[in-house]
Structure 1
Amino acid sequence: MNNHEIDYKLHGDDMQFVEIELDPQETVIAEAGSLMMMEDQIRMETIFGSGSDDQQGGLMGKLLGAGKRVITGESLFMTTFTNEGSGKKHASFAAPYPGKIIPMDLSEINGKLICQKDSFLAAAKGVAIGIEFQKKVGTGFFGGEGFIMQKLEGDGMAFVHAGGTMYKKVLEPGETLRVDTGCLVAMTGDVDYNIEFIGGVKTALFGGEGLFFATLRGPGTVWTQSLPFSRLASRVFAAAPEKGGSQGEGSIAGGLFGLLGGDRK
Protein backbone atom coordinates (compact mmCIF):
# COMPACT_ATOMS: atom_id res chain seq x y z
CA MET A 1 0.00 0.00 0.00
CA ASN A 2 1.36 3.42 -1.00
CA ASN A 3 -1.50 5.35 0.62
CA HIS A 4 -2.23 5.83 4.28
CA GLU A 5 -4.89 3.36 5.43
CA ILE A 6 -7.57 5.47 7.10
CA ASP A 7 -10.78 4.46 8.83
CA TYR A 8 -13.91 6.57 8.53
CA LYS A 9 -17.55 6.98 9.55
CA LEU A 10 -20.31 8.86 7.74
CA HIS A 11 -22.73 10.99 9.78
CA GLY A 12 -26.07 12.46 8.75
CA ASP A 13 -28.48 11.86 5.91
CA ASP A 14 -28.94 14.78 3.50
CA MET A 15 -26.28 17.07 4.98
CA GLN A 16 -23.50 14.60 5.61
CA PHE A 17 -20.01 14.84 6.99
CA VAL A 18 -17.29 12.21 7.11
CA GLU A 19 -15.33 11.57 10.31
CA ILE A 20 -11.86 10.18 9.56
CA GLU A 21 -9.88 8.30 12.20
CA LEU A 22 -6.14 8.88 12.03
CA ASP A 23 -3.56 6.64 13.64
CA PRO A 24 -0.31 8.30 14.80
CA GLN A 25 1.48 9.93 11.82
CA GLU A 26 -1.39 9.18 9.44
CA THR A 27 -2.43 12.01 7.12
CA VAL A 28 -5.54 12.93 5.17
CA ILE A 29 -5.66 15.55 2.40
CA ALA A 30 -8.72 17.70 1.76
CA GLU A 31 -10.00 20.58 -0.29
CA ALA A 32 -9.35 23.96 1.31
CA GLY A 33 -12.40 25.01 3.31
CA SER A 34 -13.93 21.54 3.77
CA LEU A 35 -12.84 21.03 7.41
CA MET A 36 -15.68 20.82 9.93
CA MET A 37 -13.79 19.98 13.13
CA MET A 38 -10.69 18.17 14.40
CA GLU A 39 -9.25 17.00 17.69
CA ASP A 40 -6.09 18.31 19.30
CA GLN A 41 -2.62 17.14 18.24
CA ILE A 42 -3.67 17.13 14.59
CA ARG A 43 -1.35 19.38 12.58
CA MET A 44 -2.93 21.25 9.68
CA GLU A 45 -0.68 22.33 6.81
CA THR A 46 -1.48 24.09 3.53
CA ILE A 47 0.37 22.67 0.52
CA PHE A 48 0.72 23.22 -3.23
CA GLY A 49 -0.08 20.60 -5.80
CA SER A 50 -1.77 17.24 -5.71
CA GLY A 51 -0.85 16.05 -2.24
CA SER A 52 0.77 12.90 -3.57
CA ASP A 53 3.97 11.62 -1.98
CA ASP A 54 5.51 10.91 -5.41
CA GLN A 55 5.24 14.44 -6.75
CA GLN A 56 8.64 15.13 -8.25
CA GLY A 57 10.56 18.21 -9.33
CA GLY A 58 10.73 20.19 -6.10
CA LEU A 59 9.18 23.63 -6.31
CA MET A 60 8.55 23.38 -10.07
CA GLY A 61 6.75 20.08 -9.62
CA LYS A 62 4.56 21.56 -6.93
CA LEU A 63 3.79 24.61 -9.04
CA LEU A 64 2.85 22.36 -11.96
CA GLY A 65 0.52 20.34 -9.75
CA ALA A 66 -1.07 23.52 -8.42
CA GLY A 67 -1.42 24.87 -11.95
CA LYS A 68 -3.30 21.76 -13.03
CA ARG A 69 -5.76 22.34 -10.18
CA VAL A 70 -6.30 25.94 -11.30
CA ILE A 71 -7.25 24.65 -14.78
CA THR A 72 -10.05 22.59 -13.20
CA GLY A 73 -11.33 25.66 -11.34
CA GLU A 74 -10.11 24.54 -7.92
CA SER A 75 -7.98 26.37 -5.36
CA LEU A 76 -4.21 26.57 -5.72
CA PHE A 77 -3.93 24.99 -2.29
CA MET A 78 -4.84 21.78 -0.55
CA THR A 79 -4.70 21.07 3.16
CA THR A 80 -3.17 18.11 4.97
CA PHE A 81 -4.15 16.93 8.44
CA THR A 82 -1.59 14.78 10.27
CA ASN A 83 -2.02 13.07 13.62
CA GLU A 84 1.07 13.97 15.65
CA GLY A 85 -0.25 12.48 18.88
CA SER A 86 0.34 9.07 20.40
CA GLY A 87 -3.24 7.81 20.07
CA LYS A 88 -6.04 7.80 17.53
CA LYS A 89 -7.43 11.21 16.56
CA HIS A 90 -10.38 12.31 14.46
CA ALA A 91 -10.93 14.99 11.81
CA SER A 92 -14.29 15.64 10.14
CA PHE A 93 -15.06 17.12 6.73
CA ALA A 94 -18.47 18.44 5.67
CA ALA A 95 -20.30 18.31 2.37
CA PRO A 96 -20.69 21.76 0.75
CA TYR A 97 -24.43 21.40 -0.02
CA PRO A 98 -27.26 18.84 0.44
CA GLY A 99 -26.42 15.41 -0.93
CA LYS A 100 -24.38 12.31 -0.22
CA ILE A 101 -20.71 11.64 0.48
CA ILE A 102 -19.49 8.60 -1.46
CA PRO A 103 -16.52 6.60 -0.08
CA MET A 104 -14.32 5.26 -2.88
CA ASP A 105 -11.71 2.57 -2.30
CA LEU A 106 -9.41 3.18 -5.27
CA SER A 107 -7.77 -0.23 -4.87
CA GLU A 108 -11.11 -1.81 -5.84
CA ILE A 109 -11.52 0.18 -9.06
CA ASN A 110 -8.08 -0.33 -10.61
CA GLY A 111 -6.55 2.66 -8.87
CA LYS A 112 -8.25 5.43 -10.85
CA LEU A 113 -11.42 7.50 -10.54
CA ILE A 114 -12.49 10.34 -12.85
CA CYS A 115 -14.80 12.86 -11.18
CA GLN A 116 -16.36 16.29 -11.57
CA LYS A 117 -14.01 19.11 -10.67
CA ASP A 118 -16.05 20.17 -7.60
CA SER A 119 -16.99 16.74 -6.23
CA PHE A 120 -13.71 15.81 -4.49
CA LEU A 121 -13.84 16.25 -0.70
CA ALA A 122 -10.94 14.37 0.94
CA ALA A 123 -8.60 11.41 0.52
CA ALA A 124 -5.88 9.42 2.22
CA LYS A 125 -2.37 10.85 1.95
CA GLY A 126 -0.72 9.48 -1.18
CA VAL A 127 -3.76 9.74 -3.46
CA ALA A 128 -2.76 11.93 -6.42
CA ILE A 129 -5.29 14.54 -7.50
CA GLY A 130 -4.74 15.59 -11.10
CA ILE A 131 -6.68 16.41 -14.27
CA GLU A 132 -8.11 14.13 -16.92
CA PHE A 133 -8.04 15.37 -20.50
CA GLN A 134 -10.49 13.85 -22.93
CA LYS A 135 -9.08 12.91 -26.33
CA LYS A 136 -11.78 14.50 -28.46
CA VAL A 137 -11.42 18.26 -28.88
CA GLY A 138 -15.17 18.76 -29.32
CA THR A 139 -15.67 17.57 -25.76
CA GLY A 140 -13.55 20.41 -24.49
CA PHE A 141 -15.10 23.20 -26.52
CA PHE A 142 -18.72 22.21 -25.95
CA GLY A 143 -18.92 19.97 -22.92
CA GLY A 144 -18.51 22.42 -20.06
CA GLU A 145 -17.58 20.02 -17.29
CA GLY A 146 -16.72 17.33 -19.85
CA PHE A 147 -13.29 18.23 -21.21
CA ILE A 148 -11.31 18.78 -18.02
CA MET A 149 -12.23 16.60 -15.06
CA GLN A 150 -10.31 15.59 -11.98
CA LYS A 151 -8.68 12.20 -11.68
CA LEU A 152 -7.85 10.50 -8.40
CA GLU A 153 -5.11 7.89 -8.57
CA GLY A 154 -3.72 5.58 -5.91
CA ASP A 155 -4.77 2.62 -3.80
CA GLY A 156 -6.35 4.36 -0.80
CA MET A 157 -9.68 5.82 0.24
CA ALA A 158 -11.14 8.92 -1.38
CA PHE A 159 -14.40 10.74 -0.67
CA VAL A 160 -16.48 12.54 -3.28
CA HIS A 161 -19.73 14.45 -2.88
CA ALA A 162 -22.93 14.15 -4.93
CA GLY A 163 -25.80 16.63 -4.79
CA GLY A 164 -29.31 15.42 -4.00
CA THR A 165 -29.66 11.66 -4.45
CA MET A 166 -26.71 9.60 -5.68
CA TYR A 167 -27.25 6.77 -8.18
CA LYS A 168 -24.67 4.10 -9.02
CA LYS A 169 -24.89 2.40 -12.42
CA VAL A 170 -22.75 -0.53 -13.52
CA LEU A 171 -22.42 -0.56 -17.32
CA GLU A 172 -21.95 -3.82 -19.18
CA PRO A 173 -19.55 -3.93 -22.17
CA GLY A 174 -21.07 -1.86 -24.95
CA GLU A 175 -23.93 -0.56 -22.79
CA THR A 176 -24.51 3.18 -23.20
CA LEU A 177 -25.90 5.76 -20.79
CA ARG A 178 -26.67 9.39 -21.67
CA VAL A 179 -26.40 11.83 -18.77
CA ASP A 180 -26.84 15.57 -18.34
CA THR A 181 -23.28 16.88 -18.06
CA GLY A 182 -23.97 18.46 -14.67
CA CYS A 183 -25.46 15.26 -13.26
CA LEU A 184 -22.32 13.21 -13.84
CA VAL A 185 -20.39 12.82 -10.56
CA ALA A 186 -17.73 10.21 -11.25
CA MET A 187 -16.79 7.18 -13.31
CA THR A 188 -14.16 4.50 -13.34
CA GLY A 189 -11.22 4.90 -15.71
CA ASP A 190 -12.40 2.20 -18.12
CA VAL A 191 -15.60 4.04 -19.13
CA ASP A 192 -15.51 5.50 -22.65
CA TYR A 193 -16.73 9.09 -22.35
CA ASN A 194 -17.77 11.74 -24.85
CA ILE A 195 -19.97 14.84 -25.19
CA GLU A 196 -22.74 14.85 -27.80
CA PHE A 197 -25.01 17.56 -29.15
CA ILE A 198 -28.66 16.98 -28.25
CA GLY A 199 -29.76 17.55 -31.85
CA GLY A 200 -32.70 19.47 -33.20
CA VAL A 201 -32.89 23.27 -33.01
CA LYS A 202 -36.24 23.24 -31.23
CA THR A 203 -34.99 20.83 -28.55
CA ALA A 204 -31.75 22.75 -28.10
CA LEU A 205 -33.42 26.14 -27.76
CA PHE A 206 -36.60 25.29 -25.84
CA GLY A 207 -35.99 21.93 -24.19
CA GLY A 208 -34.55 23.43 -21.02
CA GLU A 209 -31.96 20.67 -20.72
CA GLY A 210 -28.91 22.40 -22.17
CA LEU A 211 -27.27 21.78 -25.53
CA PHE A 212 -25.10 18.77 -24.73
CA PHE A 213 -25.13 15.55 -22.75
CA ALA A 214 -22.49 13.06 -21.71
CA THR A 215 -22.45 9.70 -23.46
CA LEU A 216 -20.91 6.97 -21.29
CA ARG A 217 -20.14 3.56 -22.71
CA GLY A 218 -19.26 0.48 -20.66
CA PRO A 219 -17.75 -1.52 -19.26
CA GLY A 220 -17.35 0.41 -16.05
CA THR A 221 -19.20 2.09 -13.20
CA VAL A 222 -20.82 5.52 -13.22
CA TRP A 223 -22.08 7.65 -10.32
CA THR A 224 -24.70 10.35 -11.01
CA GLN A 225 -26.44 13.02 -8.91
CA SER A 226 -30.02 14.24 -9.00
CA LEU A 227 -29.24 17.84 -7.96
CA PRO A 228 -26.07 19.41 -9.37
CA PHE A 229 -25.02 22.54 -7.51
CA SER A 230 -25.24 24.59 -10.72
CA ARG A 231 -28.90 23.63 -11.09
CA LEU A 232 -29.63 24.44 -7.44
CA ALA A 233 -27.84 27.79 -7.70
CA SER A 234 -29.73 28.78 -10.86
CA ARG A 235 -33.09 28.07 -9.19
CA VAL A 236 -32.13 30.08 -6.11
CA PHE A 237 -30.88 32.96 -8.24
CA ALA A 238 -34.06 32.96 -10.35
CA ALA A 239 -36.26 33.09 -7.23
CA ALA A 240 -34.28 35.80 -5.42
CA PRO A 241 -35.91 39.28 -5.12
CA GLU A 242 -34.31 41.79 -7.46
CA LYS A 243 -33.41 44.18 -4.64
CA GLY A 244 -32.10 41.47 -2.34
CA GLY A 245 -33.51 39.99 0.83
CA SER A 246 -36.71 38.04 1.35
CA GLN A 247 -40.04 39.79 1.11
CA GLY A 248 -41.86 36.93 2.80
CA GLU A 249 -42.96 34.92 -0.24
CA GLY A 250 -45.60 33.01 1.65
CA SER A 251 -47.40 35.98 3.18
CA ILE A 252 -49.94 38.53 1.97
CA ALA A 253 -47.73 41.32 3.25
CA GLY A 254 -44.82 40.00 1.22
CA GLY A 255 -46.93 39.94 -1.94
CA LEU A 256 -48.18 43.46 -1.25
CA PHE A 257 -44.67 44.81 -0.85
CA GLY A 258 -43.71 43.10 -4.08
CA LEU A 259 -46.60 44.69 -5.99
CA LEU A 260 -45.96 48.16 -4.59
CA GLY A 261 -42.20 47.89 -5.09
CA GLY A 262 -41.59 48.85 -1.48
CA ASP A 263 -38.72 47.79 0.80
CA ARG A 264 -39.28 46.24 4.19
CA LYS A 265 -37.30 47.89 6.98
Structure 2
Amino acid sequence: MNNHEIDYKLYGDDMQFVEVELDPEETVIAEAGSLMMMDDQVEMETIFGDGSDSDGNGLMGKLFGAGRRVITGESLFMTAFTNVGQGKKHVAFASPYPGKIIPMDLSELDGKLICQKDAFLAAAKGVSIGIEFQRKIGTGFFGGEGFIMQKLEGDGMGFVHAGGTMHKRVLSPGEMLRVDTGCLVAMTGGVDYNIEYVGKVKTALFGGEGLFYATLRGPGTVWIQSLPFSRLASRVFAAMPKEGGSKGEGSIAGGLFDLLGGDRR
Protein backbone atom coordinates (compact mmCIF):
# COMPACT_ATOMS: atom_id res chain seq x y z
CA MET A 1 0.00 0.00 0.00
CA ASN A 2 1.70 3.18 -1.23
CA ASN A 3 -1.15 5.50 -0.25
CA HIS A 4 -2.36 6.32 3.24
CA GLU A 5 -5.07 3.86 4.23
CA ILE A 6 -8.07 5.83 5.49
CA ASP A 7 -11.49 4.88 6.85
CA TYR A 8 -14.62 6.85 6.03
CA LYS A 9 -18.36 7.17 6.52
CA LEU A 10 -20.96 8.79 4.27
CA TYR A 11 -23.80 10.87 5.70
CA GLY A 12 -27.00 12.12 4.09
CA ASP A 13 -28.89 11.23 0.96
CA ASP A 14 -29.09 14.01 -1.65
CA MET A 15 -26.92 16.56 0.18
CA GLN A 16 -24.11 14.25 1.24
CA PHE A 17 -20.86 14.71 3.05
CA VAL A 18 -18.07 12.24 3.78
CA GLU A 19 -16.32 11.95 7.14
CA VAL A 20 -12.77 10.59 6.96
CA GLU A 21 -11.16 8.95 9.98
CA LEU A 22 -7.43 9.57 10.32
CA ASP A 23 -4.99 7.61 12.45
CA PRO A 24 -2.00 9.54 13.83
CA GLU A 25 0.14 10.97 10.98
CA GLU A 26 -2.38 9.95 8.31
CA THR A 27 -3.25 12.57 5.69
CA VAL A 28 -6.15 13.18 3.31
CA ILE A 29 -6.05 15.69 0.45
CA ALA A 30 -9.05 17.64 -0.82
CA GLU A 31 -10.11 20.33 -3.23
CA ALA A 32 -9.75 23.82 -1.79
CA GLY A 33 -13.07 24.95 -0.32
CA SER A 34 -14.55 21.48 0.25
CA LEU A 35 -13.95 21.35 4.04
CA MET A 36 -17.04 21.03 6.22
CA MET A 37 -15.58 20.40 9.70
CA MET A 38 -12.58 18.83 11.43
CA ASP A 39 -11.49 17.74 14.90
CA ASP A 40 -8.93 19.49 17.02
CA GLN A 41 -5.32 18.46 16.27
CA VAL A 42 -6.05 18.01 12.59
CA GLU A 43 -3.53 20.24 10.84
CA MET A 44 -4.54 21.94 7.59
CA GLU A 45 -1.88 22.86 5.03
CA THR A 46 -2.19 24.33 1.54
CA ILE A 47 -0.02 22.47 -0.98
CA PHE A 48 0.88 22.62 -4.65
CA GLY A 49 -0.76 19.92 -6.74
CA ASP A 50 -1.95 16.70 -5.13
CA GLY A 51 0.84 16.06 -2.64
CA SER A 52 1.90 12.78 -4.27
CA ASP A 53 5.51 11.96 -5.03
CA SER A 54 4.86 11.02 -8.66
CA ASP A 55 6.45 14.19 -10.03
CA GLY A 56 9.49 14.17 -7.78
CA ASN A 57 10.23 16.12 -4.64
CA GLY A 58 11.80 19.21 -6.21
CA LEU A 59 10.20 22.56 -6.81
CA MET A 60 9.88 21.95 -10.55
CA GLY A 61 8.11 18.66 -9.91
CA LYS A 62 5.61 20.33 -7.62
CA LEU A 63 5.05 23.18 -10.09
CA PHE A 64 4.49 20.69 -12.89
CA GLY A 65 1.92 18.79 -10.83
CA ALA A 66 0.09 21.99 -9.96
CA GLY A 67 0.22 23.16 -13.58
CA ARG A 68 -1.54 20.03 -14.76
CA ARG A 69 -4.46 20.92 -12.49
CA VAL A 70 -4.72 24.41 -13.99
CA ILE A 71 -5.20 22.83 -17.42
CA THR A 72 -8.31 21.05 -16.11
CA GLY A 73 -9.70 24.33 -14.75
CA GLU A 74 -8.93 23.56 -11.11
CA SER A 75 -7.01 25.63 -8.58
CA LEU A 76 -3.22 25.55 -8.36
CA PHE A 77 -3.56 24.51 -4.74
CA MET A 78 -5.05 21.65 -2.80
CA THR A 79 -5.41 21.25 0.96
CA ALA A 80 -3.83 18.49 3.05
CA PHE A 81 -5.36 17.50 6.41
CA THR A 82 -3.08 15.56 8.77
CA ASN A 83 -3.76 14.05 12.19
CA VAL A 84 -0.92 15.47 14.32
CA GLY A 85 -2.42 14.32 17.64
CA GLN A 86 -2.90 11.07 19.49
CA GLY A 87 -5.77 8.72 18.70
CA LYS A 88 -8.19 8.85 15.82
CA LYS A 89 -9.36 12.19 14.42
CA HIS A 90 -12.04 13.09 11.88
CA VAL A 91 -12.39 15.56 9.02
CA ALA A 92 -15.48 15.96 6.83
CA PHE A 93 -15.92 17.19 3.25
CA ALA A 94 -19.15 18.25 1.54
CA SER A 95 -20.31 18.23 -2.06
CA PRO A 96 -20.60 21.65 -3.73
CA TYR A 97 -24.11 20.92 -5.08
CA PRO A 98 -26.90 18.35 -4.52
CA GLY A 99 -25.94 14.84 -5.52
CA LYS A 100 -23.96 11.80 -4.43
CA ILE A 101 -20.44 11.14 -3.19
CA ILE A 102 -18.98 7.91 -4.56
CA PRO A 103 -16.10 6.16 -2.75
CA MET A 104 -13.59 4.75 -5.25
CA ASP A 105 -11.07 2.16 -4.06
CA LEU A 106 -8.39 2.46 -6.74
CA SER A 107 -6.82 -0.84 -5.69
CA GLU A 108 -9.99 -2.52 -6.99
CA LEU A 109 -10.05 -0.48 -10.22
CA ASP A 110 -6.64 -1.48 -11.60
CA GLY A 111 -5.15 1.66 -10.08
CA LYS A 112 -6.72 4.15 -12.48
CA LEU A 113 -9.99 6.09 -12.74
CA ILE A 114 -10.90 8.67 -15.39
CA CYS A 115 -13.55 11.22 -14.40
CA GLN A 116 -15.01 14.54 -15.48
CA LYS A 117 -12.75 17.42 -14.61
CA ASP A 118 -14.76 18.80 -11.66
CA ALA A 119 -15.73 15.47 -10.07
CA PHE A 120 -12.82 14.99 -7.63
CA LEU A 121 -13.57 15.80 -3.98
CA ALA A 122 -10.92 14.16 -1.75
CA ALA A 123 -8.47 11.25 -1.57
CA ALA A 124 -5.92 9.55 0.61
CA LYS A 125 -2.47 11.12 0.43
CA GLY A 126 -0.43 9.46 -2.29
CA VAL A 127 -3.23 9.29 -4.86
CA SER A 128 -2.08 11.17 -7.95
CA ILE A 129 -4.60 13.57 -9.52
CA GLY A 130 -3.52 14.18 -13.10
CA ILE A 131 -4.98 14.77 -16.53
CA GLU A 132 -6.16 12.38 -19.23
CA PHE A 133 -5.99 13.64 -22.81
CA GLN A 134 -8.67 12.39 -25.17
CA ARG A 135 -6.81 11.12 -28.20
CA LYS A 136 -9.73 11.42 -30.61
CA ILE A 137 -10.38 14.89 -32.04
CA GLY A 138 -14.15 14.37 -32.18
CA THR A 139 -14.23 13.41 -28.53
CA GLY A 140 -12.22 16.48 -27.60
CA PHE A 141 -14.34 18.99 -29.51
CA PHE A 142 -17.80 17.57 -28.87
CA GLY A 143 -17.49 15.45 -25.74
CA GLY A 144 -18.65 18.11 -23.32
CA GLU A 145 -15.45 17.75 -21.25
CA GLY A 146 -13.03 18.84 -23.98
CA PHE A 147 -9.72 17.15 -24.66
CA ILE A 148 -8.88 16.82 -20.97
CA MET A 149 -10.43 14.83 -18.14
CA GLN A 150 -9.17 14.12 -14.63
CA LYS A 151 -7.20 10.97 -13.89
CA LEU A 152 -6.84 9.43 -10.43
CA GLU A 153 -4.00 6.93 -10.04
CA GLY A 154 -2.74 4.91 -7.11
CA ASP A 155 -3.91 2.17 -4.78
CA GLY A 156 -5.76 4.26 -2.18
CA MET A 157 -9.24 5.59 -1.61
CA GLY A 158 -10.66 8.53 -3.56
CA PHE A 159 -14.01 10.30 -3.48
CA VAL A 160 -15.83 11.82 -6.44
CA HIS A 161 -19.15 13.64 -6.50
CA ALA A 162 -21.87 14.06 -9.10
CA GLY A 163 -25.37 15.51 -9.42
CA GLY A 164 -28.66 13.75 -8.78
CA THR A 165 -28.69 9.95 -8.52
CA MET A 166 -25.68 7.84 -9.42
CA HIS A 167 -25.90 4.69 -11.56
CA LYS A 168 -23.05 2.19 -11.81
CA ARG A 169 -22.92 0.06 -14.95
CA VAL A 170 -20.49 -2.80 -15.61
CA LEU A 171 -19.84 -3.32 -19.32
CA SER A 172 -18.76 -6.69 -20.64
CA PRO A 173 -16.17 -6.89 -23.47
CA GLY A 174 -17.63 -5.29 -26.61
CA GLU A 175 -20.82 -4.12 -24.86
CA MET A 176 -21.72 -0.52 -25.79
CA LEU A 177 -23.71 2.11 -23.89
CA ARG A 178 -24.84 5.47 -25.30
CA VAL A 179 -24.88 8.30 -22.75
CA ASP A 180 -25.61 12.01 -22.81
CA THR A 181 -22.18 13.65 -22.80
CA GLY A 182 -22.88 15.62 -19.60
CA CYS A 183 -24.12 12.58 -17.67
CA LEU A 184 -20.84 10.65 -17.72
CA VAL A 185 -19.09 10.96 -14.34
CA ALA A 186 -16.30 8.39 -14.34
CA MET A 187 -15.01 5.24 -16.00
CA THR A 188 -12.25 2.72 -15.52
CA GLY A 189 -9.19 2.89 -17.74
CA GLY A 190 -10.21 0.03 -20.03
CA VAL A 191 -13.43 1.65 -21.31
CA ASP A 192 -13.26 2.99 -24.89
CA TYR A 193 -14.81 6.48 -24.96
CA ASN A 194 -15.98 8.11 -28.19
CA ILE A 195 -18.50 10.68 -29.46
CA GLU A 196 -21.16 10.03 -32.10
CA TYR A 197 -23.54 12.30 -33.99
CA VAL A 198 -27.20 11.61 -33.24
CA GLY A 199 -27.71 10.82 -36.92
CA LYS A 200 -30.90 12.70 -37.79
CA VAL A 201 -31.03 16.44 -38.52
CA LYS A 202 -34.55 16.87 -37.15
CA THR A 203 -33.65 15.04 -33.94
CA ALA A 204 -30.48 17.09 -33.58
CA LEU A 205 -32.19 20.44 -34.09
CA PHE A 206 -35.49 19.92 -32.27
CA GLY A 207 -35.02 16.92 -29.98
CA GLY A 208 -33.53 18.96 -27.15
CA GLU A 209 -30.84 16.33 -26.48
CA GLY A 210 -27.95 17.98 -28.31
CA LEU A 211 -26.06 17.03 -31.44
CA PHE A 212 -23.82 14.32 -29.96
CA TYR A 213 -23.82 11.55 -27.39
CA ALA A 214 -21.03 9.55 -25.81
CA THR A 215 -20.48 5.91 -26.68
CA LEU A 216 -18.83 3.77 -24.01
CA ARG A 217 -17.57 0.33 -24.97
CA GLY A 218 -16.44 -2.30 -22.50
CA PRO A 219 -14.85 -4.00 -20.79
CA GLY A 220 -14.98 -1.81 -17.73
CA THR A 221 -17.19 0.08 -15.32
CA VAL A 222 -18.87 3.45 -15.83
CA TRP A 223 -20.70 5.78 -13.44
CA ILE A 224 -23.58 7.89 -14.75
CA GLN A 225 -25.23 10.90 -13.07
CA SER A 226 -28.91 11.78 -13.50
CA LEU A 227 -28.49 15.55 -13.05
CA PRO A 228 -25.33 17.15 -14.48
CA PHE A 229 -24.54 20.48 -12.84
CA SER A 230 -24.53 22.20 -16.24
CA ARG A 231 -28.13 21.09 -16.79
CA LEU A 232 -29.16 22.31 -13.34
CA ALA A 233 -27.38 25.63 -13.82
CA SER A 234 -29.04 26.26 -17.19
CA ARG A 235 -32.50 25.69 -15.71
CA VAL A 236 -31.75 28.02 -12.79
CA PHE A 237 -30.42 30.68 -15.16
CA ALA A 238 -33.49 30.37 -17.40
CA ALA A 239 -35.80 30.79 -14.39
CA MET A 240 -34.05 33.90 -13.06
CA PRO A 241 -36.09 37.11 -13.44
CA LYS A 242 -34.73 39.31 -16.19
CA GLU A 243 -33.92 42.99 -15.66
CA GLY A 244 -37.16 44.93 -15.33
CA GLY A 245 -39.11 41.71 -14.86
CA SER A 246 -41.85 41.20 -12.30
CA LYS A 247 -41.84 39.20 -9.10
CA GLY A 248 -44.17 36.39 -8.14
CA GLU A 249 -44.20 34.75 -11.57
CA GLY A 250 -45.64 31.56 -10.16
CA SER A 251 -48.84 33.08 -8.79
CA ILE A 252 -52.18 33.63 -10.54
CA ALA A 253 -52.12 37.30 -9.55
CA GLY A 254 -48.62 37.64 -10.97
CA GLY A 255 -49.75 36.16 -14.27
CA LEU A 256 -52.75 38.51 -14.40
CA PHE A 257 -50.56 41.56 -13.74
CA ASP A 258 -48.17 40.44 -16.46
CA LEU A 259 -51.06 40.02 -18.88
CA LEU A 260 -52.42 43.48 -18.14
CA GLY A 261 -48.98 45.07 -18.07
CA GLY A 262 -49.47 46.28 -14.52
CA ASP A 263 -46.76 47.79 -12.37
CA ARG A 264 -46.52 46.08 -8.94
CA ARG A 265 -43.70 48.11 -7.46
TM over 0.5: yes
Q: What TM-score range do you get, normalising by the shorter chain?
A: over 0.9
CA-based RMSD: 1.8
Please show how residues 1-265 of structure 1 align to structure 2 within 5 Å.
1-56=1-56, 58-243=58-243, 247-256=247-256, 258-259=258-259, 260=261, 262=263, 264=265
The answer for unaligned runs of 5 or more in structure 1 is none
Sequence identity (%): 83
Summarize the Cα distance change of 1:201–1:123 in structure 2 as closer, same or farther, 3 Å threshold.
Answer: same
Summarize the Cα distance change of 1:244–1:166 in structure 2 as closer, same or farther, 3 Å threshold.
Answer: farther
The CA deviation at 1:77 is: 1.2
- The C-alpha deviation readout for 1:95-125, integer Å capped at 9, x for no partner, is 1111111001000010000001111110000
Summarize the Cα distance change of 1:262–1:85 in structure 2 as closer, same or farther, 3 Å threshold.
Answer: farther
2:175 and 2:69 map into 1 onto residues whose CA distance is 32
1:197 and 1:40 map into 2 onto residues whose CA distance is 54
Contact 1:2 1:155 in 2 (8 A): yes
The CA deviation at 1:93 is: 0.4
Contact 1:204 1:211 in 2 (8 A): yes
TM normalised by structure 1 equals 0.94
The CA deviation at 1:248 is: 2.6
TM normalised by structure 2 equals 0.94
- The C-alpha deviation readout for 1:34-56, integer Å capped at 9, x for no partner, is 11111111111111123213331
Report SS of the residue matched to 2:59: helix
1:83 and 1:131 map into 2 onto residues whose CA distance is 29
The answer for unaligned runs of 5 or more in structure 2 is none
Q: How many residues align?
A: 264
Report SS of the residue matched to 1:2: coil
